[in-house]
Structures are given as structure tokens and as C-alpha cells.
Amino acid sequence: MIVDELLYHDLPTWVVKRKMRKVLRKTYLDQTATGAELRLLFEEVLSHELTNREECCIAHIEALRARLTASAEKIAIRDYGAGTFLLANLSLQKRERVVRHAALATIVRYSKPPLHALLLFKLIRRFHPRACLELGTCLGISAAYIGSALKLNGNGKLISLEGAGRLADLARRYFDELALNNIDVVAGPFHKSLPVALKRMPGLDFVFIDGHHDGRAMLAYLDRIKPYLASRAFLVFDDISWSPGMRRAWNQIRRQAGMVHAIDLGMLGLCAYDLNKAGYAS
């Protein structure tokens, strides 16, 4: 099923939870150590099990989301990705010249909804990655969840790439407000910023690809990132049902060697990567 990205982000929580429960049931058949950890991860997310410190961090991020949702401010941004369906038929070269004016209240609706943001947060908390990369900062909601989880873990750093300079500037400001000094935002088109980020942070053990929304580009980014992965890592791919091309790319990714767990959450794909093992899909 291919759905509009904005409609997806407005899906009722119960719809997202229903998909997660289906995934949870499958994890009970997995007897591996990683499978057991993933089962605990989904149980915590579905029960919204939080410590006081976790609850406090998330409350601050959701207060920022609420503030942006209520904002009347409009900004000009240059779109380097696939953009919306209205831009999907334009070539990348043409899209690089597209400057859009949009309200912050509209832009923030494309951020990860709270339940999927919580999944990222709990994934970081449970598996303790140290070298994290995000492609697609936007206004920084998902990065704030990741950065907050790293901060609570006591170690780890996130490099977040954002094509639109204005969004990168705003995200940096919001991270300062949240006292998240473990996030470094790099602005510019991914084909320029990604090689720089990879050289700065080898041994990646967490990657979140949430930008460009083009299946061929997603596969190309993964090919570029793979040599810099740690022997074990988690990779999360957003909007895997955003278009037929994205869906085809996800189906290729989940079958690649080393993807020992490939979990399909509808619009979000989660892979556990192990360089030394053959993969299977769940």
C-alpha cells in the first residue's frame, strides 16, 4: 500500500500500534538474543514504559513540537530531496532549484509521530550505540529523541544531515534550547555532506535514513554507508511505503547479506545488521 507521507504522519496512534503488535507477535518466534531484545523494545514502546528522566526528556521535546505546531511563522527552504508528490516528477537537478515557502506548523507535521519517535528513543536506550548518523534533520524532532537517549545513556554522538540550510539553523537552535550538545547538524545536499560525515564518524552503529524519499537514492546512500558500519549496527529507513520506488528499495535492502533482522512497520523499516551473518526478513 502506497500512502501520502503527510497522511501517514497523521495516522491515529491505534493504527500504528496495531502494526507494532503484529511485529511483536512475530518476535516471540525468534529465539536469538537480538530477537529477545527487540521483543522487549516493542513491549516497552507499546506500554509507554518510561523512567522519570525519560519522561522529562520526552516532555520537553513534545513541548517543542506543540510550540512549532502552533507557530504562524513561515520560512523559505530549498528542497534537495524528492519533496512532495507535487515535486516527485521533477528531476533532481530541477528540484535543487526549487525554493518553497512553508509554515513551521506545516513542516513539523512531517516529523516522526510520537510513537515512532519513542521507538527510536527506546532503540538507542536499549542497544547503546555510540556513533549515530541521521539523514534528514528537518526541524530536529527525531534527532532530539535520539540525542536525548544518547545523553541519558551517558555516551554517544549524532551527526544529522539536512539539505535545507534554514532548517539546519533552526534545528541547531532547538537543540541548544534542549541542552543537547551531542548533536552536530551538517547542512547541504547529501551527496556532498554524507562523505564528509562518514570520514568524521567511522564505526557507525546506528543509522536513520529519513530524507530524499527516492528509492534509488536510498540504495545509493546505503551502499556508501555500509563500509563505515560497525560489525553490528541498527539501520532505520523511514517512509518505505511513500512510493513504489521506496517500497522496491526496502524489499532489496531487507534481503541484503548481513540484515539478520528486517522488521517492516509499514512506513518504517528497521534492520539489525551483522557483518558476519546471513540475513532473513521478518
CB contact set of 119 (below 8 Å; sequence gap of 6+): 20, 41, 45, 268, 270
Question: Among the listed ranges 35-44, 141-150, 153-162, 183-192, which one has the minimum average pLDDT value?
Answer: 35-44
Over residues 118-134, the pLDDT tens digits come to 999 999 999 999 999 99
For the segment 34-54, the average pLDDT, to the nearest whole number, is: 92
The C-alpha atoms of residue 198 and residue 130 are separated, in whole angstroms, by 14
The whole-number pLDDT of residue 26 equals 77
pLDDT at residue 94 tops 50: no
Q: Long-range contacts: 169-174, Cβ < 8 Å, 24+?
A: 170/75, 170/104, 170/139, 170/140, 171/137, 171/138, 171/139, 171/140, 171/143, 174/64, 174/139, 174/140, 174/144
For the segment 19-39, the average pLDDT, to the nearest whole number, is: 81
For the segment 266-272, the average pLDDT, to the nearest whole number, is: 91
- Burial category of 251 from C-beta neighbours within 10 Å (exposed 0-12, middle 13-18, buried 19 and up): middle
pTM attached to this predicted model: 0.88
The C-alpha atoms of residue 45 and residue 270 are separated, in whole angstroms, by 14
The whole-number pLDDT of residue 12 equals 66
Locus of grid cell 514502546: 45
Average of per-residue pLDDT values in the chain: 86
